[in-house]
A and B are shown apart, each in its own frame.
Chain A
Amino acid sequence: MTIGESAGGPVRESVRAAMTPSVAPATDNRPGGSDSGERLLLPVPDEDGAPFWEYAARGELRIQACDGCGALRFPPRPCCPHCQSFAARWQRMSGRGRIWSYVLPHPPLLPAYAALPGYNAIVVELAEAPRIRLVGNLVTAADAPLNSVDPARLRIGAPVKAAFHTLPEGMTVPRWLLERP
Protein backbone atom coordinates (compact mmCIF):
# COMPACT_ATOMS: atom_id res chain seq x y z
CA MET A 1 0.00 0.00 0.00
CA THR A 2 1.33 3.42 -0.85
CA ILE A 3 1.24 6.35 1.50
CA GLY A 4 -1.45 7.92 -0.66
CA GLU A 5 -3.75 4.93 -0.33
CA SER A 6 -3.35 4.68 3.43
CA ALA A 7 -4.00 8.39 3.78
CA GLY A 8 -7.08 8.08 1.57
CA GLY A 9 -8.73 5.33 3.59
CA PRO A 10 -10.14 7.36 6.48
CA VAL A 11 -11.30 10.05 4.09
CA ARG A 12 -13.31 7.53 2.11
CA GLU A 13 -14.74 6.13 5.33
CA SER A 14 -15.96 9.55 6.33
CA VAL A 15 -17.52 10.03 2.92
CA ARG A 16 -19.31 6.70 3.24
CA ALA A 17 -20.56 7.66 6.69
CA ALA A 18 -22.03 10.83 5.23
CA MET A 19 -23.81 8.93 2.45
CA THR A 20 -26.65 7.49 4.46
CA PRO A 21 -30.01 7.12 2.69
CA SER A 22 -31.37 10.03 4.70
CA VAL A 23 -28.99 12.42 2.97
CA ALA A 24 -30.96 14.69 0.67
CA PRO A 25 -30.20 14.32 -3.05
CA ALA A 26 -28.89 17.88 -3.15
CA THR A 27 -25.83 16.72 -1.27
CA ASP A 28 -25.36 13.49 -3.17
CA ASN A 29 -23.41 12.56 -6.29
CA ARG A 30 -19.93 12.35 -4.85
CA PRO A 31 -17.81 10.64 -7.47
CA GLY A 32 -15.15 9.79 -4.89
CA GLY A 33 -17.54 8.14 -2.46
CA SER A 34 -17.00 4.40 -2.42
CA ASP A 35 -20.75 3.74 -2.32
CA SER A 36 -21.71 6.05 -5.14
CA GLY A 37 -18.63 5.39 -7.25
CA GLU A 38 -20.32 2.53 -9.10
CA ARG A 39 -23.81 4.01 -9.03
CA LEU A 40 -25.60 6.14 -11.54
CA LEU A 41 -25.86 9.83 -10.73
CA LEU A 42 -29.03 10.87 -8.97
CA PRO A 43 -31.10 13.82 -10.11
CA VAL A 44 -30.30 16.82 -7.93
CA PRO A 45 -33.60 18.71 -8.01
CA ASP A 46 -33.73 22.44 -7.60
CA GLU A 47 -36.74 24.32 -6.28
CA ASP A 48 -38.33 24.68 -9.73
CA GLY A 49 -37.71 21.07 -10.72
CA ALA A 50 -38.72 19.32 -7.50
CA PRO A 51 -42.39 18.73 -8.49
CA PHE A 52 -41.29 16.87 -11.63
CA TRP A 53 -39.45 14.33 -9.50
CA GLU A 54 -42.24 14.10 -6.94
CA TYR A 55 -44.72 13.24 -9.70
CA ALA A 56 -42.21 10.83 -11.25
CA ALA A 57 -42.11 8.99 -7.91
CA ARG A 58 -45.87 8.43 -8.38
CA GLY A 59 -45.33 7.17 -11.93
CA GLU A 60 -46.65 10.34 -13.52
CA LEU A 61 -44.94 12.36 -16.24
CA ARG A 62 -45.95 15.95 -15.65
CA ILE A 63 -44.66 19.13 -17.28
CA GLN A 64 -44.91 22.63 -15.85
CA ALA A 65 -47.63 24.73 -17.48
CA CYS A 66 -48.54 28.38 -17.07
CA ASP A 67 -51.74 28.82 -15.09
CA GLY A 68 -52.35 32.08 -16.94
CA CYS A 69 -51.89 31.32 -20.65
CA GLY A 70 -51.53 27.54 -20.48
CA ALA A 71 -48.18 27.36 -22.27
CA LEU A 72 -46.03 24.37 -21.35
CA ARG A 73 -42.43 25.07 -20.43
CA PHE A 74 -39.36 22.97 -19.83
CA PRO A 75 -37.08 23.09 -17.93
CA PRO A 76 -39.33 24.44 -15.18
CA ARG A 77 -38.75 28.04 -14.11
CA PRO A 78 -40.42 30.60 -11.87
CA CYS A 79 -42.17 32.67 -14.52
CA CYS A 80 -43.93 32.15 -17.87
CA PRO A 81 -41.77 33.51 -20.73
CA HIS A 82 -44.90 34.24 -22.77
CA CYS A 83 -47.18 36.08 -20.29
CA GLN A 84 -44.89 36.55 -17.25
CA SER A 85 -47.38 34.90 -14.92
CA PHE A 86 -45.86 33.35 -11.80
CA ALA A 87 -48.79 30.96 -11.41
CA ALA A 88 -48.06 27.44 -12.60
CA ARG A 89 -49.52 23.96 -12.57
CA TRP A 90 -48.16 20.57 -13.51
CA GLN A 91 -49.92 19.05 -16.51
CA ARG A 92 -50.00 15.30 -16.87
CA MET A 93 -48.64 14.04 -20.18
CA SER A 94 -49.49 10.83 -22.01
CA GLY A 95 -45.91 9.62 -21.71
CA ARG A 96 -45.73 9.03 -25.45
CA GLY A 97 -43.13 10.57 -27.69
CA ARG A 98 -40.53 10.08 -30.38
CA ILE A 99 -36.76 9.86 -30.34
CA TRP A 100 -35.45 13.28 -31.43
CA SER A 101 -31.76 12.38 -31.20
CA TYR A 102 -29.40 9.98 -29.45
CA VAL A 103 -25.74 9.37 -28.63
CA LEU A 104 -23.73 6.36 -27.55
CA PRO A 105 -21.20 7.61 -24.99
CA HIS A 106 -17.88 5.77 -24.80
CA PRO A 107 -15.06 6.12 -22.25
CA PRO A 108 -13.67 8.13 -20.60
CA LEU A 109 -16.81 8.13 -18.44
CA LEU A 110 -17.71 8.09 -14.77
CA PRO A 111 -17.28 4.50 -13.48
CA ALA A 112 -20.97 3.64 -13.18
CA TYR A 113 -21.56 4.54 -16.83
CA ALA A 114 -18.31 3.02 -18.09
CA ALA A 115 -19.60 -0.24 -16.60
CA LEU A 116 -22.53 -0.14 -19.07
CA PRO A 117 -20.84 -0.26 -22.50
CA GLY A 118 -23.17 0.54 -25.35
CA TYR A 119 -25.58 2.54 -23.20
CA ASN A 120 -27.51 5.28 -24.92
CA ALA A 121 -28.64 8.77 -24.04
CA ILE A 122 -31.63 9.98 -26.02
CA VAL A 123 -33.75 13.07 -26.40
CA VAL A 124 -37.50 12.42 -26.60
CA GLU A 125 -39.98 14.91 -28.05
CA LEU A 126 -43.35 14.49 -26.36
CA ALA A 127 -46.28 13.47 -28.59
CA GLU A 128 -48.66 16.21 -27.44
CA ALA A 129 -45.93 18.88 -27.20
CA PRO A 130 -43.09 18.10 -29.63
CA ARG A 131 -41.11 21.14 -28.51
CA ILE A 132 -40.95 19.78 -24.99
CA ARG A 133 -37.95 17.45 -25.13
CA LEU A 134 -36.63 15.24 -22.34
CA VAL A 135 -33.21 13.63 -22.06
CA GLY A 136 -33.41 10.00 -21.01
CA ASN A 137 -32.44 6.43 -21.77
CA LEU A 138 -34.03 3.84 -24.05
CA VAL A 139 -34.30 0.52 -22.22
CA THR A 140 -36.07 -2.83 -22.76
CA ALA A 141 -37.96 -2.58 -19.46
CA ALA A 142 -38.31 0.00 -16.71
CA ASP A 143 -35.83 -1.80 -14.49
CA ALA A 144 -33.48 -3.04 -17.23
CA PRO A 145 -29.92 -1.69 -17.49
CA LEU A 146 -29.15 1.42 -19.52
CA ASN A 147 -27.43 -0.72 -22.15
CA SER A 148 -30.27 -3.25 -22.51
CA VAL A 149 -31.29 -2.03 -25.98
CA ASP A 150 -29.18 -3.07 -28.96
CA PRO A 151 -27.73 0.22 -30.27
CA ALA A 152 -28.77 -0.84 -33.78
CA ARG A 153 -32.40 -0.41 -32.70
CA LEU A 154 -31.99 3.30 -32.05
CA ARG A 155 -33.34 5.59 -34.70
CA ILE A 156 -34.61 9.13 -34.84
CA GLY A 157 -38.39 9.21 -35.03
CA ALA A 158 -38.97 5.91 -33.26
CA PRO A 159 -42.12 6.07 -31.09
CA VAL A 160 -41.45 5.55 -27.39
CA LYS A 161 -43.39 5.54 -24.13
CA ALA A 162 -42.34 6.49 -20.63
CA ALA A 163 -41.73 3.97 -17.87
CA PHE A 164 -40.56 4.70 -14.37
CA HIS A 165 -37.54 3.22 -12.64
CA THR A 166 -36.78 3.63 -8.97
CA LEU A 167 -33.07 3.89 -8.30
CA PRO A 168 -31.56 1.99 -5.35
CA GLU A 169 -31.31 5.27 -3.45
CA GLY A 170 -35.10 5.71 -3.70
CA MET A 171 -35.47 8.34 -6.41
CA THR A 172 -37.60 7.59 -9.45
CA VAL A 173 -36.58 8.58 -12.98
CA PRO A 174 -38.47 8.30 -16.25
CA ARG A 175 -37.07 5.91 -18.81
CA TRP A 176 -38.25 5.11 -22.32
CA LEU A 177 -39.43 1.94 -24.02
CA LEU A 178 -39.90 1.38 -27.75
CA GLU A 179 -43.59 1.32 -28.66
CA ARG A 180 -42.76 -1.44 -31.15
CA PRO A 181 -39.94 -3.41 -29.52
Chain B
Amino acid sequence: MATLKDATAIAGIGQTPFAKQLPASEKTLACQAIVAALDDAGIAPSEVDAFASYTMEETDEVEIAKAIGAGDVTHFSKVGYGGGGSCATVAHLAAAIATGQANVGVAWRSRKRGSGPRPWKNTRVQLPTPGQWTRPFGLLRPADEIGLLARRYMHEYGATRDHFFNVALACRNRANQNPAAMMYERPLTREMYMTARWISEPLCLFDNCLETDGALACVVVAADRARDCRHRPVYVHAAAQGLPAQHHGMVNYWNDDPLTGPAWTAARHLWKGADLGPQDVDVAQIYDAFTPLIPLSLEGYGFCGRGEGAAFTEGGALETGGRLPLNTGGGGLSEAYVHGFNLITEGVRQLRGTSTAQVPGAATCLVTAGEGVPTSALLLRS
Protein backbone atom coordinates (compact mmCIF):
# COMPACT_ATOMS: atom_id res chain seq x y z
CA MET B 1 0.00 0.00 0.00
CA ALA B 2 1.23 3.50 -0.81
CA THR B 3 2.18 5.54 2.24
CA LEU B 4 2.68 9.20 3.01
CA LYS B 5 5.63 8.40 5.25
CA ASP B 6 8.41 10.91 4.48
CA ALA B 7 7.21 11.11 0.85
CA THR B 8 6.82 14.88 1.04
CA ALA B 9 8.33 17.76 2.94
CA ILE B 10 7.60 21.32 3.90
CA ALA B 11 10.15 23.34 1.94
CA GLY B 12 9.04 26.89 2.66
CA ILE B 13 7.18 28.93 5.26
CA GLY B 14 5.97 32.51 5.20
CA GLN B 15 3.92 34.87 7.32
CA THR B 16 2.81 38.47 7.71
CA PRO B 17 3.16 40.45 10.92
CA PHE B 18 0.59 39.56 13.59
CA ALA B 19 -1.47 42.32 15.20
CA LYS B 20 -4.88 43.09 16.64
CA GLN B 21 -5.48 45.13 13.49
CA LEU B 22 -3.63 45.20 10.18
CA PRO B 23 -4.69 47.62 7.45
CA ALA B 24 -4.25 45.24 4.49
CA SER B 25 -7.07 43.02 3.21
CA GLU B 26 -7.17 39.28 3.87
CA LYS B 27 -6.39 38.74 0.19
CA THR B 28 -3.31 40.94 0.32
CA LEU B 29 -2.14 39.30 3.53
CA ALA B 30 -2.63 35.85 2.00
CA CYS B 31 -0.58 36.78 -1.05
CA GLN B 32 2.18 38.26 1.12
CA ALA B 33 2.44 35.09 3.21
CA ILE B 34 2.36 32.80 0.17
CA VAL B 35 4.94 34.78 -1.80
CA ALA B 36 7.18 34.81 1.28
CA ALA B 37 6.81 31.03 1.69
CA LEU B 38 7.69 30.40 -1.96
CA ASP B 39 10.69 32.71 -1.67
CA ASP B 40 11.73 30.85 1.49
CA ALA B 41 11.64 27.61 -0.50
CA GLY B 42 13.28 29.12 -3.57
CA ILE B 43 10.41 28.03 -5.79
CA ALA B 44 8.83 30.28 -8.44
CA PRO B 45 5.11 31.01 -8.02
CA SER B 46 4.56 29.83 -11.60
CA GLU B 47 5.41 26.30 -10.41
CA VAL B 48 2.56 26.15 -7.88
CA ASP B 49 -0.02 23.60 -9.03
CA ALA B 50 -1.87 22.76 -5.79
CA PHE B 51 -3.63 24.69 -3.07
CA ALA B 52 -5.21 23.73 0.23
CA SER B 53 -6.91 25.79 2.91
CA TYR B 54 -9.80 25.86 5.37
CA THR B 55 -13.47 26.06 4.46
CA MET B 56 -13.57 29.11 6.73
CA GLU B 57 -10.87 30.78 4.62
CA GLU B 58 -12.39 33.79 2.86
CA THR B 59 -9.79 34.03 0.09
CA ASP B 60 -10.03 31.40 -2.64
CA GLU B 61 -7.72 29.54 -5.01
CA VAL B 62 -8.88 31.43 -8.08
CA GLU B 63 -8.03 34.84 -6.69
CA ILE B 64 -4.84 33.70 -5.01
CA ALA B 65 -3.54 31.78 -8.04
CA LYS B 66 -4.26 34.74 -10.27
CA ALA B 67 -2.60 37.21 -7.92
CA ILE B 68 0.62 35.34 -7.22
CA GLY B 69 1.04 34.10 -10.80
CA ALA B 70 0.51 30.38 -10.32
CA GLY B 71 0.50 28.14 -13.39
CA ASP B 72 -2.07 25.48 -14.18
CA VAL B 73 -3.47 24.18 -10.90
CA THR B 74 -4.40 20.49 -10.75
CA HIS B 75 -5.32 20.00 -7.09
CA PHE B 76 -7.26 22.21 -4.68
CA SER B 77 -9.04 21.30 -1.49
CA LYS B 78 -10.53 22.93 1.57
CA VAL B 79 -10.97 21.35 4.97
CA GLY B 80 -13.83 22.04 7.36
CA TYR B 81 -14.29 22.63 11.07
CA GLY B 82 -12.30 25.80 11.64
CA GLY B 83 -9.00 25.19 13.35
CA GLY B 84 -9.51 21.44 13.08
CA GLY B 85 -8.47 21.72 9.46
CA SER B 86 -5.03 23.28 9.93
CA CYS B 87 -2.81 20.19 9.69
CA ALA B 88 -5.13 18.58 7.16
CA THR B 89 -4.31 21.31 4.63
CA VAL B 90 -0.72 20.03 4.61
CA ALA B 91 -1.91 16.42 4.72
CA HIS B 92 -4.11 16.90 1.65
CA LEU B 93 -1.23 18.46 -0.27
CA ALA B 94 1.08 15.65 0.82
CA ALA B 95 -1.41 13.07 -0.41
CA ALA B 96 -1.85 14.86 -3.72
CA ILE B 97 1.89 15.17 -4.30
CA ALA B 98 2.66 11.62 -3.15
CA THR B 99 0.11 10.29 -5.64
CA GLY B 100 1.21 12.44 -8.55
CA GLN B 101 -1.74 14.83 -8.62
CA ALA B 102 0.53 17.85 -8.26
CA ASN B 103 4.13 18.90 -7.63
CA VAL B 104 4.19 22.15 -5.67
CA GLY B 105 1.48 22.73 -3.09
CA VAL B 106 0.66 25.83 -1.09
CA ALA B 107 -1.38 25.72 2.11
CA TRP B 108 -2.46 29.01 3.63
CA ARG B 109 -4.66 30.80 6.14
CA SER B 110 -5.39 34.51 6.15
CA ARG B 111 -7.72 35.94 8.72
CA LYS B 112 -8.60 39.31 10.14
CA ARG B 113 -10.14 37.91 13.30
CA GLY B 114 -8.64 40.79 15.29
CA SER B 115 -10.40 43.57 13.44
CA GLY B 116 -13.25 41.47 12.07
CA PRO B 117 -16.47 40.65 13.93
CA ARG B 118 -16.58 37.85 16.48
CA PRO B 119 -18.17 34.93 14.63
CA TRP B 120 -20.55 34.03 17.50
CA LYS B 121 -22.19 37.46 17.29
CA ASN B 122 -23.75 36.53 13.98
CA THR B 123 -26.72 34.49 15.19
CA ARG B 124 -28.10 34.03 11.69
CA VAL B 125 -25.17 32.16 10.23
CA GLN B 126 -25.50 28.38 10.10
CA LEU B 127 -23.04 27.24 12.73
CA PRO B 128 -21.52 23.77 12.77
CA THR B 129 -23.03 23.44 16.23
CA PRO B 130 -26.75 22.75 16.32
CA GLY B 131 -27.83 26.07 17.73
CA GLN B 132 -31.38 25.10 18.64
CA TRP B 133 -30.05 22.91 21.49
CA THR B 134 -27.58 25.39 22.94
CA ARG B 135 -27.88 29.03 21.98
CA PRO B 136 -31.28 29.87 23.50
CA PHE B 137 -29.78 28.88 26.85
CA GLY B 138 -26.98 31.39 26.53
CA LEU B 139 -24.33 28.91 25.46
CA LEU B 140 -23.20 31.45 22.90
CA ARG B 141 -19.46 31.27 22.33
CA PRO B 142 -16.73 28.69 21.86
CA ALA B 143 -15.47 29.63 25.34
CA ASP B 144 -18.84 28.61 26.83
CA GLU B 145 -18.95 25.35 24.89
CA ILE B 146 -15.41 24.32 25.86
CA GLY B 147 -15.94 25.71 29.36
CA LEU B 148 -18.59 23.03 29.98
CA LEU B 149 -16.13 20.29 29.03
CA ALA B 150 -13.41 21.96 31.11
CA ARG B 151 -15.62 22.04 34.22
CA ARG B 152 -16.48 18.38 33.79
CA TYR B 153 -12.81 17.54 33.23
CA MET B 154 -11.88 19.33 36.47
CA HIS B 155 -14.63 17.44 38.29
CA GLU B 156 -13.68 14.00 37.02
CA TYR B 157 -9.91 14.23 37.27
CA GLY B 158 -9.13 16.85 39.91
CA ALA B 159 -7.69 19.32 37.44
CA THR B 160 -7.37 22.85 38.80
CA ARG B 161 -6.97 26.35 37.44
CA ASP B 162 -3.28 26.04 38.24
CA HIS B 163 -3.03 23.34 35.59
CA PHE B 164 -4.62 25.61 33.02
CA PHE B 165 -2.27 28.37 34.19
CA ASN B 166 0.71 26.07 33.52
CA VAL B 167 -0.40 25.93 29.89
CA ALA B 168 -1.00 29.68 29.59
CA LEU B 169 2.35 30.42 31.21
CA ALA B 170 4.38 28.10 29.01
CA CYS B 171 2.91 29.67 25.88
CA ARG B 172 3.44 33.18 27.23
CA ASN B 173 7.03 32.48 28.23
CA ARG B 174 7.81 31.29 24.70
CA ALA B 175 6.05 34.32 23.21
CA ASN B 176 8.26 36.51 25.39
CA GLN B 177 11.21 35.08 23.43
CA ASN B 178 9.57 35.54 20.01
CA PRO B 179 9.66 39.10 18.60
CA ALA B 180 6.91 38.19 16.10
CA ALA B 181 4.50 37.25 18.88
CA MET B 182 1.69 39.60 19.85
CA MET B 183 2.56 39.02 23.52
CA TYR B 184 6.34 39.39 23.05
CA GLU B 185 6.71 42.13 25.65
CA ARG B 186 3.86 41.06 27.92
CA PRO B 187 4.97 38.66 30.67
CA LEU B 188 2.27 36.73 32.56
CA THR B 189 2.27 36.04 36.29
CA ARG B 190 0.22 33.65 38.37
CA GLU B 191 -1.38 36.60 40.14
CA MET B 192 -2.43 38.15 36.83
CA TYR B 193 -3.97 34.84 35.84
CA MET B 194 -5.77 34.18 39.10
CA THR B 195 -7.26 37.68 39.28
CA ALA B 196 -8.15 38.01 35.58
CA ARG B 197 -11.74 38.56 34.56
CA TRP B 198 -13.86 35.54 33.74
CA ILE B 199 -14.90 34.87 30.18
CA SER B 200 -16.90 31.74 30.94
CA GLU B 201 -16.19 30.51 34.43
CA PRO B 202 -14.14 28.27 34.89
CA LEU B 203 -12.26 29.90 31.98
CA CYS B 204 -10.66 33.32 32.47
CA LEU B 205 -9.21 35.77 29.96
CA PHE B 206 -5.85 34.00 29.84
CA ASP B 207 -7.45 30.63 29.09
CA ASN B 208 -8.61 32.07 25.76
CA CYS B 209 -6.57 32.52 22.62
CA LEU B 210 -5.76 35.89 21.08
CA GLU B 211 -7.75 37.73 18.43
CA THR B 212 -5.38 38.30 15.54
CA ASP B 213 -5.03 39.75 12.07
CA GLY B 214 -2.45 37.89 10.05
CA ALA B 215 -1.69 35.27 7.43
CA LEU B 216 0.64 32.29 7.07
CA ALA B 217 1.54 29.82 4.36
CA CYS B 218 3.75 26.87 3.69
CA VAL B 219 5.02 25.07 0.59
CA VAL B 220 4.84 21.27 0.27
CA VAL B 221 6.86 19.34 -2.34
CA ALA B 222 8.12 15.80 -2.86
CA ALA B 223 10.95 14.81 -0.54
CA ASP B 224 13.58 14.64 -3.30
CA ARG B 225 12.58 18.06 -4.56
CA ALA B 226 12.78 19.46 -1.04
CA ARG B 227 16.39 18.41 -0.77
CA ASP B 228 17.19 20.88 -3.57
CA CYS B 229 15.44 23.78 -1.86
CA ARG B 230 16.97 26.54 0.27
CA HIS B 231 16.47 25.02 3.69
CA ARG B 232 16.81 21.67 5.33
CA PRO B 233 13.66 19.70 4.43
CA VAL B 234 11.08 19.10 7.13
CA TYR B 235 9.49 15.78 6.25
CA VAL B 236 5.82 14.99 6.68
CA HIS B 237 6.45 11.71 8.45
CA ALA B 238 2.81 10.99 9.22
CA ALA B 239 -0.52 12.77 8.92
CA ALA B 240 -4.04 12.05 10.10
CA GLN B 241 -7.53 13.43 10.35
CA GLY B 242 -9.98 12.46 13.08
CA LEU B 243 -13.76 12.45 13.37
CA PRO B 244 -14.68 10.02 16.17
CA ALA B 245 -17.84 7.96 16.19
CA GLN B 246 -20.79 10.01 17.45
CA HIS B 247 -18.60 13.10 17.90
CA HIS B 248 -20.23 16.51 17.87
CA GLY B 249 -17.95 19.49 17.17
CA MET B 250 -17.54 21.96 20.05
CA VAL B 251 -20.61 20.66 21.89
CA ASN B 252 -19.47 17.08 22.37
CA TYR B 253 -21.96 16.40 25.15
CA TRP B 254 -23.97 13.84 23.24
CA ASN B 255 -21.84 10.74 23.07
CA ASP B 256 -20.90 8.09 25.58
CA ASP B 257 -17.61 9.67 26.54
CA PRO B 258 -17.45 13.44 25.95
CA LEU B 259 -13.96 13.77 27.47
CA THR B 260 -12.36 11.77 24.69
CA GLY B 261 -12.42 13.71 21.48
CA PRO B 262 -11.01 13.84 17.97
CA ALA B 263 -7.41 13.83 19.23
CA TRP B 264 -7.80 10.16 20.18
CA THR B 265 -9.00 9.22 16.71
CA ALA B 266 -6.36 11.25 14.88
CA ALA B 267 -3.65 9.91 17.19
CA ARG B 268 -4.48 6.26 16.55
CA HIS B 269 -4.12 6.80 12.82
CA LEU B 270 -1.09 9.07 13.14
CA TRP B 271 0.98 6.64 15.21
CA LYS B 272 -0.11 3.72 13.05
CA GLY B 273 1.50 5.41 10.06
CA ALA B 274 4.67 6.43 11.89
CA ASP B 275 7.95 4.77 12.80
CA LEU B 276 7.85 6.80 15.99
CA GLY B 277 5.69 7.08 19.09
CA PRO B 278 4.83 9.80 21.59
CA GLN B 279 8.02 9.03 23.53
CA ASP B 280 10.06 10.09 20.48
CA VAL B 281 8.56 13.57 20.17
CA ASP B 282 11.11 16.29 21.02
CA VAL B 283 8.76 19.27 20.88
CA ALA B 284 5.00 19.71 20.39
CA GLN B 285 2.84 22.41 18.85
CA ILE B 286 -0.60 21.61 20.25
CA TYR B 287 -3.70 23.56 19.29
CA ASP B 288 -4.48 25.97 22.09
CA ALA B 289 -7.61 27.97 21.39
CA PHE B 290 -8.33 27.29 25.07
CA THR B 291 -5.94 26.04 27.76
CA PRO B 292 -7.99 22.90 28.65
CA LEU B 293 -7.45 21.61 25.12
CA ILE B 294 -3.82 20.95 26.04
CA PRO B 295 -4.39 18.37 28.81
CA LEU B 296 -7.08 16.75 26.66
CA SER B 297 -4.67 16.57 23.69
CA LEU B 298 -1.78 15.29 25.82
CA GLU B 299 -4.03 12.37 26.74
CA GLY B 300 -5.37 11.92 23.23
CA TYR B 301 -1.98 11.81 21.55
CA GLY B 302 -0.66 9.39 24.14
CA PHE B 303 1.81 11.49 26.13
CA CYS B 304 0.06 10.34 29.30
CA GLY B 305 -2.90 8.25 30.39
CA ARG B 306 -6.56 9.13 30.56
CA GLY B 307 -7.15 11.84 33.15
CA GLU B 308 -3.43 12.50 33.58
CA GLY B 309 -3.15 15.46 31.21
CA ALA B 310 -3.50 18.11 33.89
CA ALA B 311 -0.89 16.52 36.14
CA PHE B 312 1.41 16.20 33.13
CA THR B 313 1.67 20.02 33.00
CA GLU B 314 3.18 20.19 36.50
CA GLY B 315 6.85 20.84 37.29
CA GLY B 316 7.58 22.89 34.20
CA ALA B 317 6.93 19.95 31.86
CA LEU B 318 5.77 22.23 29.05
CA GLU B 319 8.62 24.73 29.43
CA THR B 320 12.00 24.74 27.69
CA GLY B 321 13.94 21.81 29.10
CA GLY B 322 10.76 20.11 30.33
CA ARG B 323 9.36 16.73 29.31
CA LEU B 324 7.56 18.19 26.32
CA PRO B 325 8.32 21.79 25.33
CA LEU B 326 5.03 23.23 24.08
CA ASN B 327 4.04 25.84 21.50
CA THR B 328 7.52 27.27 21.30
CA GLY B 329 6.50 30.35 19.30
CA GLY B 330 3.81 31.21 21.85
CA GLY B 331 0.92 29.37 20.19
CA GLY B 332 -2.59 30.68 19.73
CA LEU B 333 -2.63 31.81 23.33
CA SER B 334 0.31 34.19 23.05
CA GLU B 335 1.85 34.39 19.55
CA ALA B 336 -1.17 34.72 17.23
CA TYR B 337 -4.48 32.97 16.68
CA VAL B 338 -4.71 32.20 12.99
CA HIS B 339 -6.55 28.89 13.28
CA GLY B 340 -3.39 27.07 14.26
CA PHE B 341 -1.33 27.69 11.15
CA ASN B 342 1.43 29.30 13.21
CA LEU B 343 1.84 25.96 14.98
CA ILE B 344 2.79 24.37 11.65
CA THR B 345 5.35 27.05 10.78
CA GLU B 346 6.83 26.91 14.29
CA GLY B 347 7.16 23.14 13.95
CA VAL B 348 9.14 23.71 10.76
CA ARG B 349 11.41 26.23 12.51
CA GLN B 350 12.13 23.81 15.33
CA LEU B 351 13.23 21.13 12.87
CA ARG B 352 15.33 23.62 10.92
CA GLY B 353 16.91 24.71 14.19
CA THR B 354 15.76 28.32 13.82
CA SER B 355 13.09 28.74 16.52
CA THR B 356 13.38 31.66 18.93
CA ALA B 357 12.96 29.05 21.67
CA GLN B 358 14.95 26.29 20.03
CA VAL B 359 14.86 22.83 21.59
CA PRO B 360 18.45 21.60 21.17
CA GLY B 361 18.68 18.92 18.53
CA ALA B 362 14.94 18.73 17.94
CA ALA B 363 14.35 16.10 15.26
CA THR B 364 10.66 15.24 15.73
CA CYS B 365 7.73 17.59 16.22
CA LEU B 366 4.05 16.85 16.68
CA VAL B 367 1.69 19.51 15.34
CA THR B 368 -2.01 19.25 16.08
CA ALA B 369 -5.13 21.03 14.87
CA GLY B 370 -8.15 22.04 16.90
CA GLU B 371 -9.27 19.56 19.55
CA GLY B 372 -12.97 19.55 20.29
CA VAL B 373 -13.78 19.67 16.58
CA PRO B 374 -13.07 17.19 13.77
CA THR B 375 -9.31 17.52 13.74
CA SER B 376 -6.00 16.67 12.09
CA ALA B 377 -2.36 16.25 13.03
CA LEU B 378 1.12 16.08 11.53
CA LEU B 379 4.23 14.33 12.70
CA LEU B 380 7.17 16.27 11.26
CA ARG B 381 10.80 15.15 11.30
CA SER B 382 14.07 16.57 10.07
Contacts and interface: CB of A to CB of B under 8 A. Distances in A.
Interface of A: 29-31, 40-46, 49, 53, 74-75, 81, 100-106, 108-110, 113, 116, 119, 121, 123, 131-137, 146, 151, 156, 173
A81 B122 CA distance: 32
A102 B148 contact: yes
Interface stretch (B18-26, B138-146, B349-357, B374-382): B138-146
Interface in B272-292: none
Interface string B120-152: 011110000011111111111101100111011
Contact of A45 (B132, B155, B258): B132
Contacts of B131: 41, 44
Counting chain B CB atoms within 10 Å of each CB, the highest count among A29, A74, A103 belongs to A103
Given A43-B132, A81-B246, A101-B152, A106 B200 contact: yes
Interface residues of B, number: 40
A137 B198 CA distance: 19
B148 A137 contact: no
Interface string B172-204: 000000000000000000000000011111110
Given A131-B256, A134-B133, A106 B199 contact: yes
A43 B255 CA distance: 22
A145 to B, nearest CB: 11
Contacts of A113: 138, 140
Contact of A74 (B135, B199, B254): B254
B132 A135 contact: no
Nearest to B134: A135
Contacts of B134: 121, 135
Contact of B121 (A31, A74, A100): A31
Q: Tell me the interface secondary structure of chain A in the complex.
A: loop
Contacts of B66: none
Nearest to A109: B140
Nearest to B204: A106
**B140, B141, B253: residue with the most chain A Cβ atoms closer than 10 Å:** B253
* Closest 9 A/B residue pairs (Cβ): A103-B147, A104-B201, A101-B152, A106-B198, A43-B132, A121-B139, A29-B123, A101-B148, A133-B253
Contacts of B255: 131
Given A43-B136, A100-B152, A135-B133, A106 B123 contact: no
B118 A121 contact: no
B292 to A, nearest CB: 12
Contacts of B135: 29, 41
A81 B256 CA distance: 13
Given A31-B121, A81-B246, A103-B147, A137 B130 contact: no
A121 B136 contact: no
B251 interface: yes
